[in-house]
């Protein structure tokens, strides 16, 4: 009897120990995963905390790493947002590949160009109905329920980042509801960001092994993007306009 009690106690202890180890180990594991995510810095806001100006989302693009003939980011963007990917003069393009040739040296480079998510955005300044706005976390958006389609923002944008929907749309993505007669642009994949994911273009660029695009929080000095900007610097396009863009580039002439 005693033996059996002892046995059962031993059994119990052993089982508890195993269970405990598993629990602790998995806890540690989870913890490590979480840590790795924040170090990797492609992480986003916790989906359960509200949008606030604690974050300022931005992109850093290294033109040296950007593949000249690669269009992974453009394709990913089209798929993510349900864009047809046509390139006629009336077609929407949220992101495009631009080839640059230095006029003095002849040096060629290639980069993706999209809405630069300015802090002092000209589109927001000119929009008569407040349809263009900058979200608290720095993402420039168009409220398609308000936009009257005047296209003043398109005239004002220094990056030609916006498109006007010229035609009736079909098969839209729920993540990016669009509307005929209104203006649209890169929204930094706001639904993905809100779900704790990174923008589709950045993901595609990494998946393609170029790693030319980086997404992160410019307000957080520890974030990968901030650390990289601090270490190697970065340039804003048309910095002379002092718009404080959320998108930065490396490898461009001063």
Partner 1 sequence: MSKIEYTSLQGKSPAYFVLLGVLGLFTFTGILAAWYMEHNGHHVTGMTNQIVWGTPHIFAIFLIVAASGALNVASIASVFSKKIYEPMARLSALLAIALLAGGLVVLLLDLGRPDRLIVAMTHYNFTSVFAWNIILYSGFFTFCGLYLWTMMDHNVHQYKKYAGFSAFVWRLILTTGTGSIFGFLVARSAYETAIMAPMFVIMSFSYGLAIFILVLMATYKASQMELGDVVILRLRNLLGVFVAAVLYFTFVYHLTNIYDADRRDFERFILLDGGIYTTVFWIGDIIIGGLIPLLLIYLPSIKKNRTVLGWICGMIILGGLSQVYVIVIGGQAFPLEIFPGYDVSSSFYDGIVNSYTPSLPEILLGSSGIAITLLIVVFMLKVLRFMPNSLADNVIDPHYSVK
How near is the Cβ of 161 to ligand SF4 at its closest, in Å?
12
Is residue 147 close enough to count as binding ligand SF4 by CB under 6 A? Answer: yes
Q: Which of 10, 86, 107, 151 contacts ligand SF4 by CB under 6 A?
A: 151
Select the span of 38-46, 59-67, 90-98, 124-132 touching ligand SF4 (CB under 6 A): 124-132
Is residue 69 close enough to count as binding partner 1 by CB under 8 A? Answer: no
Q: Which of 98, 148, 180, 241 contacts ligand SF4 by CB under 6 A?
A: 148
90 interacts with, out of ligand SF4, partner 1, none, CB within 5 to 8 A per kind: partner 1
Q: Which of 91, 119, 194, 220 contacts partner 1 by CB under 8 A?
A: 91
Q: Which of residues 114-133 bind partner 1 (CB under 8 A)?
A: 122, 124-131
230 interacts with, out of partner 1, ligand SF4, none, CB within 5 to 8 A per kind: none
Residue corresponding to tokens 């704790």? 196
Select the span of 16-24, 43-51, 61-69, 87-95 touching partner 1 (CB under 8 A): 87-95
Select the span of 3-11, 12-20, 160-168, 208-216 touching partner 1 (CB under 8 A): 160-168
How near is the Cβ of 129 to ligand SF4 at its closest, in Å?
5
Residue 47, number of CB atoms within 10 A of its CB? 10
Distance, in Å, from the CA atom of 116 to the CA atom of 155, rounded to the nearest integer, reads 15
Is residue 183 close enough to count as binding ligand SF4 by CB under 6 A? Answer: yes
Rg, Å, the chain Cα set: 24
Are 56 and 246 a contacting pair, CB within 8 Å? yes
Under rule CB under 6 A, how many of the chain's residues touch ligand SF4? 14
Distance, in Å, from the CA atom of 174 to the CA atom of 183, rounded to the nearest integer, reads 17
Residue 12 buriedness (CB in 10 A; 0-12 / 13-18 / 19+): exposed
142 interacts with, out of partner 1, ligand SF4, none, CB within 5 to 8 A per kind: ligand SF4
Distance, in Å, from the CA atom of 127 to the CA atom of 145, rounded to the nearest integer, reads 14
Q: What is the DSSP letter of 137?
A: T
Distances (CA, A) of 96 to 67, 126, 182, 205, 215: 13, 24, 20, 14, 17
Helix axes 200-207, 72-81, angle to 10 degrees: 140
Coil, helix or strand at residue 134 = strand
Distance, in Å, from the CA atom of 176 to the CA atom of 80, rounded to the nearest integer, reads 8
The site for partner 1 (CB under 8 A) is made up of 87, 89-93, 96-104, 113, 122, 124-131, 146-152, 154-160, 162-168, 180-183, 237-238, 241, 252-253
The site for ligand SF4 (CB under 6 A) is made up of 126-127, 129, 131-132, 142, 147-153, 183
């Amino acid at each position: 009897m005693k033996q059996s009690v002892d046995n059962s106690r031993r059994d119990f202890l052993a089982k508890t120990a195993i269970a405990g180890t598993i629990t602790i180990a998995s806890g540690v594991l989870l913890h490590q995963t979480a840590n790795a995510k924040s170090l990797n810095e492609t992480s986003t806001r916790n989906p359960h905390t509200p949008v606030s100006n604690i974050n300022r989302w931005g992109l850093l693009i290294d033109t040296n790493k950007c593949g000249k003939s690669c269009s992974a980011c453009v394709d990913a963007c089209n798929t993510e947002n349900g864009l047809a990917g046509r390139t006629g003069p009336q077609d929407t393009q949220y992101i495009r590949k631009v080839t640059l040739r230095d006029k003095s040296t002849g040096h060629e480079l290639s980069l993706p160009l999209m809405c630069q998510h300015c802090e002092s955005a000209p589109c927001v300044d000119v929009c008569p109905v407040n349809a263009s706005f900058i979200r608290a976390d720095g993402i420039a958006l168009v409220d398609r329920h308000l936009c009257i389609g005047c296209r003043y923002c398109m005239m004002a944008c220094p990056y030609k980042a916006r498109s006007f929907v010229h035609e009736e749309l079909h098969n839209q993505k729920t993540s990016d509801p669009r509307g005929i007669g209104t203006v649209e642009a890169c929204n930094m994949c706001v639904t993905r960001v809100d779900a704790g994911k990174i923008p589709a273009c950045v993901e595609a660029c990494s998946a393609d092994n170029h790693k030319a695009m980086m997404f992160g929080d410019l307000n957080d000095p520890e974030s990968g993007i901030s650390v990289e900007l601090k270490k190697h610097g970065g340039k804003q396009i048309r910095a002379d306009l002092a718009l404080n863009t959320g998108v930065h580039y490396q490898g461009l002439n001063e």
